[in-house]
Amino acid sequence: MTQQSQSTTSTSTQDGDDPDSSSAPVAGHHPPSAVPHSPHSPRLPLAEPRPLGESRVWPRSFADRLTAPLPGLRAFARFAREGALRPGPEALADVPALPFAPEPLPRVDAHTVAVSWAGHASWVIGIGGLTVLTDPVWSRKILGTPVRVTPVGVAWSALPRIDAVVISHNHYDHLDAPTLRRLPRDTPVFVPAGLGRWFRRRRFSHVTELDWWEAAELDGVRFDFVPAHHWSKRSLSDTCRTLWGGWVLTAPEGRRLYFAGDTGYGHWFARIGERYPGIDLALLPIGAYDPRWWLSDVHCDPEEAVRAAVDLGARRMAPMHWGTFVLSAEPVLEPLARVRAAWERAGLVRGDLWDLAVGGSRVLG
C-alpha cells in the first residue's frame, strides 16, 4: 500500500519494490517478531544515487506511509481531560542540572567521522571531509513551545563552512526557518519528498528531494533517506503532504552513521539495519515520550531507543531529542537516567553509549 512517487527522470526505489517488505497497516505498528532481523537475510541492493537537485513530481499526500493512525477526536477529548503535555514544577526542578558542556569542535579530515551535539536533533557531523548539519535549530524558541532550557551547544560563529544539510521532516522543532536563513542559499540541502518547494521558495538553489530508500551522493559521501515511524504537518492544511524519515550517511571508506530524525519504535529499524549493515553510530531520540498513550506511535522512549539500536545492529548509540525543548510531561532528567539503565540491562558496552552533554563531541576511533 506504499504510494509510488513519480520522477521526471527515473523510477523511484520504494519499499514496495522490495519483495520482503511492505508498508505497515495504518491500524498500528507491526510487532517486532513479524520482521525478524536475521544475519542470514539476503543483503538488499542499495539504490543508485540520484542526480543532485533533480526536478521531481510527488503525490499530493503521503498519508499511506503512516504506521499508526493520527489522533482522532476521542484522543483529543482524553487529552483535554487529563491535562497538559508539560511537566509540573517538581519535574522541572532539575533543569539547572541538565548536562551542558560546550567544547571546541574536533579537528576532522577526509578520514575522520566526528559528531558534536548542538542540542535537540541538531548535530554537526564531520564525515568524508564534509561538514553536515542535521535538523539545524539554533533559535532560542520555536513555535508552540517554551524557550529552550539549555543554550545551543555549538556557537554559530564556531561552525566551519557547512557543506550539506539534512532535514528529517517539517515539524517546527526540526525545520527552523530562522536558522536556515543564516545559511548561504547555495548550500546543498537534502530533504524528504515534497519538501523541496519550501526550500526553493526561500531561494535555496541546491535542493535534493528523496523518497524512502533513495540516495544521492556529494563529494563521495552517500546520503540515503530511510523510513521512520512519524508524520508531517506545518500548517492547518498540510498534514502528511511531505514525507518524513531518517538519514544514513556513508563515508567513501565505508564508515556509516544513522540519524533517526524523529520516530517512534517499530519495524523500520530492523529493515534499515538489514539494508545498511555495519552502522558505526546511531543518533537516536530518547525524549518527548510522556504520556505514552499520546506519543508512543511517534516518539521512542529511552528503552525503545536502546532496542532500536540493537535492531539496527549499530555499534554505538548517541541519544538526542531531549534536554533542549520541553515538549512533553516526563521529568527533564529522566530520559538520561532511563537510557543508561536500559543500556546496562541490555548488556551493552558502557563506552558505546555516547550520552553527550549538549555541546559535547566524539570522534570515531
pLDDT digits (tens, 9 = 90+) for 100-149: 999 999 999 999 999 999 999 999 999 999 999 999 999 999 988 889 99
Instruction: Please state whether 117 falls in left (phi above 0), alpha (psi between -120 and 50) or beta.
Output: beta
pTM: 0.88
With both helix axes pointing from N to C terminus, report the angle between 302-312 and 268-275 in degrees, rounded to the nearest 10.
30
CA distance to 93, 131, 162, 189, 365, per residue, from 106 (Å): 33, 11, 15, 23, 13
CA distance 230 to 99: 27
Tens of pLDDT, residue by residue, the chain (365 residues): 333 333 333 334 344 334 333 333 333 333 333 333 444 455 778 999 999 999 999 999 999 999 999 988 888 788 777 766 778 888 899 999 999 999 999 999 999 999 999 999 999 999 999 999 999 999 999 988 889 999 999 999 999 999 999 999 999 999 999 999 999 999 999 999 999 999 999 999 999 999 999 999 999 999 999 999 999 999 999 999 999 999 999 999 999 999 999 999 999 999 999 999 999 999 999 999 999 988 999 999 999 999 999 999 999 999 999 999 999 999 999 999 999 999 999 999 999 999 999 999 999 97
Predicted local confidence at residue 19, as pLDDT: 31
Assigned C-alpha cell, 43: 543483503
Predicted local confidence at residue 1, as pLDDT: 30
Predicted local confidence at residue 42, as pLDDT: 59
Predicted local confidence at residue 76, as pLDDT: 78
Predicted local confidence at residue 83, as pLDDT: 67
Q: 302-306 contacts: CB < 8 A, separation 24 or more?
A: 302/335, 302/338, 302/339, 302/341, 302/342, 303/338, 303/339, 303/342, 304/264, 304/265, 305/265, 305/339, 305/342, 306/339, 306/342, 306/343, 306/346, 306/348
Assigned C-alpha cell, 214: 533513495
Helical spans, DSSP H, in 52-121: 73-82, 89-92
Q: Which residue has the cell 499526500?
A: 61
Task: Count CA within 13 A, CB hemisphere, residue 356.
Answer: 32
Element (H, E) at 166: strand 164-166
CB 306 within 8 A of CB 317: yes
Q: What is the 3-state secondary structure (H, E, C) of 110-147?
A: CCCCEEEEEECCEEEEEECCEEEEECCCCCCCCCCCCC
CB 233 within 8 A of CB 194: no
Neighbours of 11 (CB within 10 A): 10
Please enumerate in sequence order all residues whose Cβ is within 8 A of that of 314, keeping only pairs 6 or more positions apart, or say none: 258, 273, 279, 280, 281, 282
CA distance 258 to 127: 12
CB-count burial class (<10 Å; 0-12, 13-18, 19+) for 106? middle
Assigned C-alpha cell, 353: 553509549
Element (H, E) at 165: strand 164-166
Assigned C-alpha cell, 354: 555516547
Q: Among 135, 67, 81, 87, which residue's Cα sits nearest to residue 289?
A: 87
CA distance 68 to 61: 16
CA distance 13 to 334: 40
Question: Using one digit for the tens of pLDDT, what is the confidence trace for 237-283?
Answer: 999 999 999 999 999 999 999 999 999 999 999 999 999 999 999 99
